[in-house]
Amino acid sequence: MVMRKFIWMFCVLVTHNFLFSQQNKLVFHPTFFNQTLKPEVYYKLNAKDSIQITSFKFYISQLELLNGRETVWKEQSSFHLIDAFDEKTLVLSVPSNITFTKIKFQIGIDSLTNVSGAMGGDLDPTKGMYWTWQSGYINFKLEGNSNLCKTHHNEFQFHLGGYQQPFNCLQTVFVQVKSKASVTLNMDVAKLLLYIQLSELNHIMSPSKEAVELSGKITETFSVSYE
């Protein structure tokens, strides 16, 4: 009798887990135009240039799901360091038992977290996304080289961050989605590079007007597709 009760309980729990704890994926897919972005590959923006991306990392934070205008799910302590060249960082999970029409998140780290001292996990300063000469997280890092840059090794480096006005670089992204199935967020680096005259601007390394302007363009690189 007792044994049967246990088996029954077990079945209920397994079904419950299956129905309610299943996760849908939210996949970041960095691209150069329509191609999947890869390291050590030369890409072309225009006929005469050639561009290689050596590092592409950014923080995703405050992940939320909305149904219409209503927030239906909010991730707790939501900080993810996404590295375009490290596949395991590209996939985030969202619950599958919730109906939503919009995904909301921030690119970068909010000001309160920026002034809260040392933190662990993806926020650990050993991740290379923290400025050392001046406190603050680097929200978004894009490095590479191009024949357009008249610099050492033709390098360009864009470290975008800054949490204080007037140089607050934090960006909020809203993405409309059709279904609650797994979503792929394509992120086209080429679109961002088209805004920059690489021959004139090849590095941003501190909170500044330029950092704020370029950060504002990141949101325009996103597009949605479905698995």
Partner 1 sequence: MNKKWGIAIIMCLALCAFNIATEHIFEVPKNWPKPIYNFNKNPLTKEKVELGRELFYDPILSKNNLISCASCHSPYTAFTHVDHDLSHGIDDRIGTRNSPALMNLAWHHLYMWDGAINHLDMQALAPISHPDEMGEKIESIVLKLQHSKKYSKLFLKAYGDTVITGEYTLKAISQFMLTLVSANSKYDSVMRKQSHFTEQETKGYKLFKQYCASCHTEPLFTHTGFENNGLAIDTTLNDVGRMRITKNSLDSLKFKVPTLRNIEFSFPYMHDGRFKKISDVLKHYTSGIVHSKTLAQQLQQPILLSSNDKVDLTAFLLTLTDKAFLFNPKHSFPKK
Q: What single letter denotes the amino acid at residue 203?
A: H
Q: Which of residues 18-77 bind partner 1 (CB under 8 A)?
A: none
Cβ closest to partner 1, residue 119 vs residue 194: 119
Q: How far is the CB of 166 from partner 1 (least distance, A)?
A: 9
Binding mask 112-151 for partner 1 (x = CB under 8 A): --xxxxxxx--xxxxxx-x-xxxxx---------------
Q: What single letter denotes the amino acid at residue 43?
A: Y
Buried b (16+ CB within 10 A) or exposed e, 13-33: eeeeeeeeeeebebbbebbbe
Cβ closest to partner 1, residue 206 vs residue 223: 206
Cβ closest to partner 1, residue 99 vs residue 132: 132
Binding mask 153-172 for partner 1 (x = CB under 8 A): --------------x-----
Per DSSP, what are the bridge partners of residue 222? Answer: 187
Cβ closest to partner 1, residue 167 vs residue 222: 167
What is the rounded distance in angstroms from the CA atom of residue 190 to the CA atom of residue 203? 16
Q: How far is the CB of 60 from partner 1 (least distance, A)?
A: 20
Where would I find the H helices in 96-196?
111-114, 189-195
Polymer length in residues for the chain = 227
Are 144 and 215 contacting, i.e. CB atoms less than 8 angstroms apart? no
Could you list the residues that contact partner 1 (CB under 8 A)? 114-120, 123-128, 130, 132-136, 167, 208
